[in-house]
A and B are shown apart, each in its own frame.
Chain A
Amino acid sequence: GIQVEQSPPDLILQEGANSTLRCNFSDSVNNLQWFHQNPWGQLINLFYIPSGTKQNGRLSATTVATERYSLLYISSSQTTDSGVYFCAVNRAGNNRKLIWGLGTSLAVNP
């Protein structure tokens, strides 16, 4: 089955710093989503981005479907950005079942 790899597994930043998180996937996909799981466990939809580039405030994401990777950019990080960032994908015809990466655990220090 399709494999999803995220890097780095852990990241510590000083408030105000920028970062790039990466998601590699092993086969073509028709859905890719980035999520932020906050310390209370809530999963926040960040981007639905099977291809192209999107921006939302300090966050932006780019998916290069032909090269099978996606990047999540966090600029001017804040302590509230702390948590785990997950990438999840699914393939056409598999009933929308998402395949998850192991996540990047981000800690932003004041």
Chain B
Amino acid sequence: GAVVSQHPSWVICKSGTSVKIECRSLDFQATTMFWYRQFPKQSLMLMATSNEGSKATYEQGVEKDKFLINHASLTLSTLTVTSAHPEDSSFYICSAGGGQPQHFGDGTRLSIL
């Protein structure tokens, strides 16, 4: 079946560091990928839609200068958390789907000290 690989699984870094998270579709092409954020004991919150070859579409309230998204190929989207601070600590998950259904990466747990 369709596989989405997300890397890294865990990141611990100091405040002020920029962190890049990769999302790859391993056996299919994805013109669209989605990035979610999840707080403890809450549902997934869509942050942005990543479009291959064009700018990402951000949801209301998500800072596009803080969360940079690049979708340079049909199999790779990256989310960069720039100048991360403790309030950016969270669980980030990506998804992709050439059609229906969508498939999810295993998530990245980000901890900013």
Q: Do A and B come from one complex?
A: yes
Number of A residues whose C-beta is below 8 Å from B? 21
What is the chain A residue whose CB lies nearest that of B106?
A: A42
A41 close to chain B: CB less than 8 A: yes
Chain A residues near B12: list those with CB within 8 A. Answer: none
Chain B residues near A98: list those with CB within 8 A. Answer: 34, 46, 95, 102
- A43 to B46, alpha carbons, bound, how many Å? 15
CB distance from B71 to the nearest CB of A (A): 14
Please determine whether A103 and B43 come into contact, CB atoms closer than 8 angstroms.
yes
What is the chain B residue whose CB lies nearest that of A47?
A: B101
Among A32-86, those with CB < 8 Å from B are 33, 35, 41-43, 45, 48, 50, 86
B84 close to chain A: CB less than 8 A: no
Chain A positions within 8 Å of B, measured between CB atoms, are: 30-31, 33, 35, 41-43, 45, 48, 50, 86, 88, 95-98, 100-103, 105
* Further contacts, 6 of them, CB under 8 A, given A45-B101, A96-B97, A97-B49: A41-B38, A45-B103, A48-B100, A86-B44, A96-B32, A105-B41
